[in-house]
Each structure stands twice: as C-alpha cells, then as structure tokens.
C-alpha cells in the first residue's frame, strides 16, 4: 500500500466512525481533519467533498466484502444452484449484520436529505452489474431462460432480502440471523428464482436429467 | 381543559402530515405544527402527547385508510390468478410508492432505533398485508393453482418481487416520483416471475 493509499484508508476509517456516531449533518470536514491529523487540503485532495467521502466510507466495507463474495459466481462451472446459494447466504450474512443494518439506515436517512442517494445508487448498480454478468452467462449457455439479466439480478436480490431484512431495518428484530437462518432463506430464494428463470420446456428436455433441481424442490425448502 | 373533538384532531393530523413531509420527522417540531393550525401548544399536547405519537398517527391513518382497499382486491376464488395478482400488485405499489408513503417509510427506517415508529409501522402496515397475502396464497395452493409451499414465504417473495425494481431507487431518493407506466411494468414483470416460480407445473 502506498503512503497515499494508507492515508486514504486512515481518512476512510476515521470518517466512518464519525459519521456513524454523529450522522452526516453533525460531522464536518474540519472534524474529520482533526481526527485524522494533517491539513484540510490533504483531506480534500483525497475526497473533493463531504458527500463523496460519506459515500466512499459507507460503501467501502460492502465493496470489499462483495469482491470476495462475487467469486462464488463462476459461470464456467455449469449448474448455478450451488453458486447462487453460496453467494446468497454470503450476501445475507453480511448485510444482516448489526453494523451493516445501521449503515443502511444511515444511507437511507441521508440519501434523500443530502443528495448522496445517486452516488450510492451508482455504486450499488456497479455491484449488481457483476451479478447480471453471471446471470447473462447462464442465459447464454441455456442454464437459465433468456431475459433481461439486470431485471433478473433485481429479482434475485429482492428474493434474497425478502425474509429477513425489513424487520431488521425497522428494528422489529435486533439479533442478526445466524448462518443456518441465512442459508435457509438463501435456499428458498434461489429455489424460487431458479424455477422462475428455468429454461423453456424444450431446453429442459434437451438437457436431460441434470436440470431436475430446477423443478423439484426438496420438501424442507418449501 | 376543553373537550377534544374529532375535527380538531383531524386538522392537527393534516397539518402534521404536511410538516413532516416538508422537513422530515427529525427537524419537524411541535411548534411548527402548532403554528400551522393555530391554537396553543397545550391544546396540541392534549391531543398528542409527543411528536413521535403524532407522527405515528399520521402514518397509521394514511395507511389504515388504504390497507383494506389494497388487500380487499385479492380474491383467491377468482379464476384468473394472474389478473388478480396484477390488480393487487398495482394497488399495493401505487399506495406504497406515493410520495407520502415513501417519506413515511424512510423516516420509519431512519428513526427505528430511536423510537417505536419502525415497530409500529411493521406491526400495523407490513404484517397485516403479509398475512392477508399469505391467506390468499394458502387458498390458491389448496385450489391447486399454485404449487404447495409455505404460504407466508410465497407472500413475502411476491411482495419483495413487486418492489424489486423500484425499492432502492426510491429509498435512496434517486427518483422522486414513480411514473404510472414504470409502476405497471414492474408489477407485470414481478407477477410473471412470481407465477413462474410458484405456479404448479
């Protein structure tokens, strides 16, 4: 890591702590400079505005995590069931953690107020496009029926989040789900998704028995 | 203390709805609301003991009015399941993605840790809809129109799919208002995918 990169890292970490403790409105670039040390000019050379710094530090953990998690999605391996389950459970484990739920609340609270929403959305879209690429590859090889891969990625994401996220965001439940729970939610989401995006009937016949998973779901996942 | 009247209560709720929408829950003050309707602060507090309570009443009233209207659309005995779900989805999304409902939802999420409004919103809006849709699913499964599955999971899968194209955009304020045509497109696509995933084959 270069000196500049490590400085950037220190800024991101300090800003993250301050934003989480004081909110976006309650934290100034001067506060962050005081916390990090050095000059305001240095801070601005790394991040041209408070908005951009906010978005960067709120998204940094998610982007780091996702770069590993997206490795589950390897279209060259054929049957996407396992890959999607592992990917889904891994995403849920992360976004349902107490810290990430709090970050998401802060994002939603600030997005409309400070106009940072578009910046967040662009980052989320960039992550989603990697899921779309995987789904597009599955469609190209006949493992999934052809449709808009971005739409399919939205549908997959919605199904994954369906069971657990809202009660956490609304603080109806506090405890983050354990791995058993996220794995089960991911299995059910992926089962519904794969049925919905199963190739049309002739393709299923042509693919012989290997696609049975697309249509038959074991009772415990129902 | 004067007797409380329903018309006064309604006037307060309407004024409060405007203030909350304009400046948000956090920045809105009981004084702002009082200024808008006139009268004394004591009167206001006599009707609503806290800003939080008032906010919740505003939210609850707005949703309560439409809850029956939304879920009343669902008829599990109808022959055309798809038409039924599209009609319901359209109504659900129109209500949920109105400017008021979006503002309320953002606040409920943002404030959920510091107040009861997240919980109240979940218990009085989210859960009743989920239950009603799950009941529909159970009947449709019994009739053999949908494959056998956990009706509650099927319900939340449907609701989540309905929102899938718009939720992030709207919560993050990327789009302010949803055009009726993009809403009906999203509903149609979500229902198609849901039925592919849950129809008996």
Using a CB–CB cutoff of 8 Å, tell me whether A121 touches chain B. Answer: yes
- H or E stretch including B106? helix B99-111
How many domains does chain B contain in total? 2
> In terms of domains, do B92 and B139 share one?
yes
Query: What is the rounded CA–CA span in Å between residue A179 and residue A203?
Result: 35
Query: What is the rounded CA–CA span in Å between residue A195 and residue A197?
Result: 5
Quote the crossing angle between the two packed helices B151-163 and B180-198, to the nearest 10°. 150
Using a CB–CB cutoff of 8 Å, tell me whether B110 touches chain A. Answer: yes
ipTM of the complex as predicted: 0.84
**Nearest Cα residue to A117 out of B171, B111, B105, B96:** B171
**Nearest Cα residue to A146 out of A190, A192, A200, A189:** A200
* Predicted pLDDT of residue A162: 96
Substitution target from B93, B153, B189, B200 for chain A, most A beta carbons within 10 A? B153
> In terms of domains, do B31 and B86 share one?
no
Q: How many CB pairs below 8 A link A and B?
A: 104
Span A80-120, pLDDT tens digits:
999 999 999 999 999 999 989 988 998 888 887 777 888 88
Query: What is the rounded CA–CA span in Å between residue A136 and residue A147?
Result: 8
Report whether CATH 1.10.3720.10 matches the domain A1-48.
no
Mean per-residue pLDDT, B131-153: 95
Query: What is the rounded CA–CA span in Å between residue A69 and residue B102?
Result: 31
> In terms of domains, do B72 and B160 share one?
yes
Span A161-218, pLDDT tens digits:
999 999 999 999 999 999 999 999 999 999 999 999 999 765 444 444 444 444 434 4
Asked whether the beta carbons of A41 and A47 are under 8 A apart, the reply is no
pTM, 2 dp: 0.84
How close is the nearest chain B Cα to the Cα of A108, in Å? 6
Span B86-103, pLDDT tens digits:
999 999 999 889 877 887
**Nearby residues of A26 by Cβ (< 8 Å), 6 or more positions away:** none
> In terms of domains, do B167 and B125 share one?
yes
Report whether CATH 1.10.150.130 matches the domain A51-221.
no
């Amino acid at each position: 890591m270069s000196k500049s990169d490590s400085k950037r890292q220190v800024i991101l970490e300090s800003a993250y702590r301050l934003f989480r403790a004081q909110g976006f409105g309650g934290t100034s670039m001067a506060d962050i400079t005081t916390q990090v040390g050095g000059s305001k000019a240095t801070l601005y050379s790394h991040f041209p505005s408070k908005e951009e710094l906010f978005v960067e530090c709120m998204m940094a953990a998610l982007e780091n995590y996702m770069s590993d998690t997206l490795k589950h999605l390897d279209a060259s391996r054929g049957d996407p069931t396992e890959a999607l389950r592992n990917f889904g459970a891994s995403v849920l484990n992360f976004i349902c953690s107490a810290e990430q739920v709090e970050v998401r609340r802060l994002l939603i609270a600030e997005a409309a107020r400070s106009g940072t929403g578009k910046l967040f959305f662009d980052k989320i879209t960039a992550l989603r496009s990697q899921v779309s690429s995987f789904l597009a590859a599955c469609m190209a090889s006949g493992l999934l029926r052809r449709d808009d891969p971005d739409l399919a990625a939205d549908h997959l994401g919605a199904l994954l989040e369906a069971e657990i996220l809202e009660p956490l965001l609304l603080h109806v439940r506090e405890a983050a789900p354990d791995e058993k729970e996220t794995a089960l939610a991911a299995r059910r989401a992926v089962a519904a998704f794969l049925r919905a995006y199963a190739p049309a009937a002739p393709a299923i016949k042509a693919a012989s028995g290997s696609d049975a998973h697309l249509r038959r779901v074991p009772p415990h996942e129902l | 203390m004067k007797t409380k009247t329903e018309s006064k209560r309604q006037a307060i709720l309407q004024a409060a709805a405007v203030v909350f929408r304009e400046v948000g829950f956090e920045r809105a003050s009981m004084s702002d609301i009082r200024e808008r309707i006139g009268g004394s602060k004591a009167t206001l507090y006599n009707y609503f003991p806290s800003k939080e309570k008032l906010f919740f009443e505003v939210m609850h009233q707005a949703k309560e009015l439409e809850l029956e209207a939304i879920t009343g659309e669902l008829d599990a005995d109808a022959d055309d399941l798809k038409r039924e779900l599209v009609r319901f989805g359209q109504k659900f999304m129109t209500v949920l993605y109105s400017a008021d409902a979006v503002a309320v939802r953002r606040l409920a999420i943002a404030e959920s840790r510091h107040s009861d409004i997240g919980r109240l919103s979940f218990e009085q809006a989210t859960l009743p809809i989920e239950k009603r849709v799950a009941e529909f699913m159970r009947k449709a499964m019994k009739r053999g129109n949908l494959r056998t599955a956990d009706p509650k999971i099927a319900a939340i899968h449907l609701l989540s799919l309905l929102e899938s194209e718009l939720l992030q955009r709207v919560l993050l304020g990327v789009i302010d208002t949803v055009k009726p045509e993009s809403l009906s497109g999203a509903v149609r696509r979500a229902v198609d995918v849901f039925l592919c995933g849950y129809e008996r084959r």
